[in-house]
Structure 1
Amino acid sequence: MTVSFGDETAAEAAASAVGTLVREGVPAALAAGDASLWGPEAADEAARRLGWLRLPETSRELLPEITRLVERARAEGLDHVVLAGMGGSSLAPEVICDTADAPLTVLDTTDPGQVRRALEDRLDRTIVVVASKSGGTVETDSHRRIYDKAFRDAGIDPAGRIVVVTDPGSPLEAVAREAGYPLVLADPDVGGRYSALSAFGLVPSALAGADVERLLDEAASVRGLLAEGEGNPGLELGAALGAAAAAGRDKLILEDGLSQINGLPDWIEQLVAESTGKSGTGILPVVDADPTGADDEIVASIDGEGAIEVSAPLGAQFLIWEYATAVAGRMLGINPFDQPNVAESKENTAALLAAGVPQEKPVLVDGPVEVYGELAGPAHDLSGVLTGLLKAIPDDGYLAILAFLDRWSAFDVPTPEDAALDELTEAWAAADPATLRPLLAARTDRPVTFGWGPRYLHSTGQFHKGGPQYGVFLQITGAIPDGADIEVPGKPYTLGALQLAQALGDFGALVKRGRPAVRVHLTDRVAGVTHLLAAARQV
């Protein structure tokens, strides 16, 4: 469990920052849960959010209960595990299960196609974990309602198929008790993005087949180091991140190509962006991108080579990055435990659902793509729109692509039965909206990020609105094919209506802050993605 440096400047800055932090008594104070470390304004929040430090020990109390859930599921042949959760309730289990090669279907979407794909997959063998810290997450509540009805329609008792993970006293706890769902209560002193080692990370992962006790053992092995001034990987990493950001290297390129851990950068992205992106400052994580050598970049590698190199097993990685983020928050002078700008998009969504989505006229139509918003420059076609967005990125800025679409639709593309793997990969990439990121990244020396909506709203969405004012935004929405939408039982809206309201709600929040933002709407999703990627190649 080490943090090392492949960059002399980063190493020197980190060493200097570690010395200052040690003199201030930060390592021992943080390890002991001192809520005053982030200033008086953050103290009340921090006092309720430091339980993650104890999780390697306290979460062991959950293991007998989790074991009983797993044994019952196995005895009943329930081998399709679906996790309905957003942000911290889904990202950690996804990493845990991908690393353990344990199959888990994650629903962190309101896209009807993606939800329908999960619903139609082995419903008779499905167990659903509904996970929400607040108990009021609209996406998760919708998933629960839809699955409850689907089970009933199939003659299956939902009480035997839906497991709830939530905080004590939440609305979801009351729902679970009334419905008779099995209920696992999480530690209320742990914030969502710090909850990897809590019930939110452990319950779905164990049901999917991951060894969660081993995960806790890995975290416990580093826990004792976190009070030390020397040999403390969390302190060294936090000092490096904070010092780099203070020196203007606030774009954190995350790499894990050589690691046996799968997908950890996606979890780090939420942790760091939502924790630090506020009050006009922050660290922007960039996933799946090659470094450009820009002065404001710093590369962090998981078990590989970079300016910062973090080597540890997964359970320890979780704890090290959480500790480091708390340290970096202190160095940046912000509260790493709140998310002050997240509520605005949620409020906008609720208002749009209540009043109805307004009818807008596109500023430009190019084939199966409509363009909305204020263009960053003159444009006569889609490639001109994309060119304008790239030119609008400030010298210290970035472009964020935000896609409210089906995350897995590319795998539906027809392919020959005897196609080789490289042919399949090429066909999938040609139909994948995420391919837009590398296409546009190749045409600028600024970072380009990609987020699936509404998933990113619980992750980088805080940074977009609360961080430095240097982001440029391209939002992608798509028409729902006839007959493909899904009603949300007990609610006056469909998933498709919710998805569009979420997109427009966040778009409005970005525009209100003066962020350059354009929305492209695919009137035909398949043809629209193809057209969009073709336009990017012409930039």
Structure 2
Amino acid sequence: MSTLEVTATGAAADAVTTHVPTLVQDRVASRIFAKDHTLWGPAAEEESAKRLNWTGLPRTSRHLIGEVAALREELSQAGYDRVVLCGMGGSSLAPEVICATAGVPIDVLDSSDPDVVRAALTDLDRTVVVVSSKSGSTVETDSQRRAFEQAFRDAGLDPSARMVIVTDPGSPLDNDARAAGFRVVNADPQVGGRYSALTAFGLVPSALAGADVETLLDDAEAVSDLLAADDDANPALRLAAAMAGTQPLRDKLVLVDDGTENVGFGAWAEQLIAESTGKDGTGILPVVAIGSAPASLYDDGTVVRLVATDSESDSVGEQDTSDAGGSASSAASLVTVAGPLGAQIMLWETATAVAGRLLGISPFDQPDVESAKAAARELLDAGIGAGVEPAFTDGSVEVTALGGDWLGDATTVDAAVDTLLGLLDDQQGYIAVMAYLDRLGDADLELVARDLFDRTGRPATFGWGPRFLHSTGQYHKGGPATGVYLQVTTAPTQDLEVPGREFTFGEFIAAQAGGDAAVLAEHGRPVLRLHLTAHDEGLEQVRAALSRGRA
């Protein structure tokens, strides 16, 4: 039987003591699993009413096990042993963590970068492509689909035999794909994208890649009754209280991989928490820790240690909070979580829904994700040259400031970064690095988040564009106005046409970056854009500027 362990100390434990009895009295857990859409207030009822089927997925998704196993066998016999997933947000992050935890390979294409897309268009004779889009109109996923269809045809291969479509029933993609003879698997339309890990969006690509999705569902089902119980021991209520009930609110949640078997879990939890809670000027900012536990911690943060399921009882109980480090006040909010992947998916989804109630927001909408998409479309329509002109060029980096006249007399990348960091609120602020680069080829750039934390003592997050637009991008614009933002963009080595579209991948990703920066600026957020005119040289400049002055 699956087990879940959630323990808390310090301010997190105080929050559990304060809020869990009320949550139990109000029957919040059982009402969520009974799909009570009134839990988040009148303004949220319409959206909540069509977003609560995730509570029953451990049972209702069972039909997919045999269906996808048969499909995998058929594709395997045809010689297809490489799975590529085209999807964004929850459609890609869940299969990525499921497959990484299972130790099976899957190539996730969640970028509009022409160099990244081109690199994925390889080994076509042995490739099956899963195209995942809930709405059926996600522009990134549609563009990736078009690129693969064209590549298959150019290679003399039938795309319909090598592509599997996952979408909601009745979506434009559903209708078009069926008419064209593609395999289509429909997902439950009453589940939102970031809650879709146990729907077809999470299970189909994972099972095709070889992951054991039956055990995943077994582990999720084994804890469902526990999470639905109106009981003080309910781990979801305890985790929600620790996340969203500290007084004053510690709105930075630092996710530390401390031996968990769930590989990359922080990235999945990050999008769930940030997109669900970051709105109406409030929210919880998840910070996926890079490297070992920090030597010191900010007073507005809670550390979550993700430990192995089979940890000894003393390792998931009361902790020496010096692991989180620093002063007594900063170290005094710690949560430890253990459990197999399926169980933790249900745990964190339930806890995030409860956290929304504690924060007084709807956990199921994402208004500012839509605003960034609209701004990107406007830039595409206006032409990519319609963006803001750079303030200056330093070496291989063009420097642009948005969101106010804050750059001052800076004339170097180093000085611009210093000026941006000087805007950080030393009590509540955070810095977000947003890199529209190749997340595989440029992966070590993520380390600058740790460098910036060591340098400033404030939380630093790192997001790969455009994938973070479906994740922390909601928090950046809808959450508290306490962030400063550093955007890294580059010119592609070679652009790539989007078949059947009037724009290229290079133009599209530039519009996405420009649209995101424009919306942040409209919200009064300071944005520093560093554009690499020569990739390798510029990237080294940026890396050096961000790593400079470490404590």
Alignment of 1:447 with 2:474, yes or no, is: no
> Which residue of 2 is the match for residue 416 of structure 1?
none
What is the deviation of 1:508?
A: 0.2
Matching residue within 120, 126, 143 for 1:118: 120
Partner of 1:404: 436
For 1:58 and 1:359, locate their aligned partners in 2 and report how far apart those are by CA, in whole Å: 47
Moved more, 92-101 or 220-229: 220-229
The separation in 1 between residues aligned to 2:248 and 2:76, in whole angstroms, is 53
Q: Distance in 1 between matches of 2:395 and 2:115?
A: 23
- 3-state secondary structure, aligned to 2:245: helix
Aligned to 1:420: none
Tell me the CA shift for residue 234 of structure 1.
1.3
The whole-number CA distance in structure 2 between the counterparts of 1:516 and 1:283 is 20
Query: Is contact 1:83-1:128 (8 Å) kept?
Result: yes
Residue of structure 2 in register with 1:298 after alignment: 302
Residue in 2 that maps onto 1:226:
227
Q: 1:378 touches 1:388 (CA, 8 Å); kept in 2?
A: no
1:50 is matched with: 52
- My pick for the range that moved more, 10-19 or 397-406, is 10-19
Q: Is the 8 A contact 1:301 1:308 kept in 2?
A: yes
Residues 290-334 of structure 1, C-alpha deviation per residue, up to 9 Å, x if partnerless? 443211000112126671111110000000000000000000000
Note the residue ranges of structure 2 that are not aligned, 5 or more in a row. 309-315, 320-333
1: CA distance, partners of 2:274 / 2:349: 12
1:437 equivalent to 2:449? Answer yes
Identity, % of aligned pairs?
52
Q: Which has the larger displacement, 3-12 or 103-112? A: 3-12
Q: How does 1:81-480 map to 2 (within 5 A)?
A: 81-120=83-122, 122-228=123-229, 229-244=231-246, 247-289=248-290, 290-291=293-294, 292-303=296-307, 307-357=334-384, 358=386, 360-374=388-402, 375-394=406-425, 395-410=427-442, 432-480=444-492
TM, length-normalised to structure 2: 0.91
Shift of residue 437 of structure 1? 1.9
Please say if residues 277 and 462 of structure 1, whose CA atoms lie closer than 8 Å, have aligned partners that are also in contact: yes
Question: Quick check: 1:81–1:204 contact (8 Å CA) kept in 2?
Answer: yes
1:536 aligns with 2:546: yes
How far apart, CA to CA, are the structure 2 residues paired with 1:88 and 1:303? 23
Distance 1:360-1:24 versus aligned 2 partners, 3 A rule: closer
Alpha-carbon displacement from aligned partner over 1:431-462 (angstroms, at most 9, x marks no partner): x3323222222210110100000000000010
Q: Is the 8 A contact 1:3 1:237 kept in 2?
A: no
Counterpart residue identity of residue 392, structure 2:
L
Cα distance, 1:378 vs. partner? Answer: 3.5
- Code of the aligned partner of 2:25: R
* TM superposition shift of 1:360: 4.4
**Deviation by residue 1:482-523 (Cα, 9 ceiling, x = unmatched):** xx2110000011101000000000000000011011111000
Consecutive unaligned residues in structure 1, runs of 5 or more:
411-428
Distance in 1, matches of 2:216 and 2:410, equals 52
One-letter amino acid of the structure 1 residue matched with residue 454 of structure 2: A
Shift of 1:5: 2.8
Which deviates the most, 83-92 or 368-377?
Answer: 368-377
Measured in 2, the distance between the counterparts of 1:301 and 1:257 equals 6
Mapping for residues 475-490 of structure 1, pairs under 5 Å: 475-481=487-493, 484-490=494-500
**Distance in 1 between residues matched to 2:28 and 2:179, nearest whole Å:** 45
C-alpha separation in 2, matches of 1:8 and 1:345: 38
1:495 aligns with 2:497: no
User: What's the counterpart of residue 533 of structure 2?
Assistant: 523
SS at match of 1:442: helix
Alignment counterpart, residue 21 of structure 1, candidates 16, 20, 23: 23
Do the aligned partners of 1:3 and 1:236 also contact (CA within 8 Å) in 2?
no
Secondary structure of 2:488's aligned partner:
strand
Cα distance per residue 1:86-123 (max 9 Å; x no partner): 00100000000000111000011001111111112x11
- Give SS of 1:63's match: helix
CA-CA distance at 1:77 after TM superposition:
1.5
Please tell me the residue identity of whatever aligns with 1:533: R
The structure-2 alpha-carbon separation of the partners of 1:360 and 1:11, relative to structure 1 and needing over 3 Å to count, comes to closer
Q: Please state whether the residue corresponding to 1:22 is helix, strand or coil.
A: helix
Shift in Å at residue 377 of structure 1? 4.2
Quote the Cα distance in structure 1 between the aligned partners of 2:101 and 2:156.
35
Partners of 1:363 and 1:372 within 8 A in 2: yes
Counterpart residue identity of residue 298, structure 2: A
Deviation track 1:189-213 (CA, whole Å, cap 9, x = no partner) reads 0000000000000000001110001
Distance 1:157 1:183, change over 3 A: same
Question: How far off is 1:361 after superposition?
Answer: 3.2
Checking the alignment, whether the CA contact within 8 Å between 2:84 and 2:130 is kept in structure 1 is yes
Superposition RMSD in Å: 1.4
Could you say which residue in structure 2 is the equivalent of 1:69? 71
Asked whether the equivalents of residues 17 and 240 of structure 1 are also in contact (C-alpha less than 8 Å), the reply is no
Q: Could you tell which deviates more after superposition, 230-239 or 370-379? A: 370-379
Query: Is the partner of 1:475 in helix, strand or coil?
Result: strand
C-alpha separation in 2, matches of 1:528 and 1:477: 10
What corresponds to 1:8 in structure 2? 10
Answer whether contact 2:166 2:186 (CA < 8 A) is retained.
yes
How far apart are the structure 2 equivalents of 1:230 and 1:219? 20
Task: Return the letter of the residue paired with 1:202.
Answer: L
| Structure-1-length-normalised TM-score | 0.93
**Is the 1:303–1:309 Cα contact (8 Å) retained in structure 2?**
yes
Q: Quick one: structure 1 residues 3 and 189, their matched pair in 2 at CA, closer, same or farther if it must change by over 3 Å?
A: same
Tell me, in whole angstroms, the C-alpha distance in 2 between the residues paired with 1:391 and 1:359.
Answer: 26
